[in-house]
Amino acid sequence: MTDAQATAGAVQSVAWAFDILEIMASAGGSTGVSGVADLAGLPLPTIHRLTRTLMNRGYVRRLPTRQYALGPKLIGLGECATQVIGAWSRPHSRSNQNGSAWPVIAAA
């Protein structure tokens, strides 16, 4: 899928917010806004506004070091996603086993 296909019909600021979260995650969970701006290719004021919004919602928190880290509200989203994916995958795992004595294990 091309970038144009991936962003067709998307809300740009929402995509940028997810980019920020993914950049923080790939940086080990915390980073400074200038590092995020460099990696996202976005202006610093845009990163500040988006980060502030994510912080106000609990998805990002500010550390005493003035860096930003992934926030606690993401835990609930992750737990819910795990349950939904688990429920969805169980019937598929059983049907893929096809009478084999070996268990089918799904891994991320």
Same domain, 48 and 79: no
Per-residue model confidence (pLDDT) at position 71:
94
Same domain, 10 and 53: yes
Per-residue pLDDT of the chain (108 residues; tens, 9 = 90+): 445 556 677 899 999 999 999 999 999 999 999 999 999 999 999 999 999 999 999 999 999 999 999 999 999 888 887 887 777 666 655 555 555 656 666 555
Same domain, 106 and 59: no
Same domain, 66 and 91: no
Angle at the Cα of 82 from the Cα atoms of 68 and 22, rounded to 5 degrees: 30
Q: Which domain holds residue 93?
A: 74-108
Number of domains in the chain: 2
In three-state secondary structure terms, 31 is strand
Rounded CA separation 65/48 (Å): 16
Same domain, 9 and 28: yes
Same domain, 8 and 29: yes
Q: Which two tokens stand for residue 38?
A: 């460099």
Per-residue model confidence (pLDDT) at position 77:
85
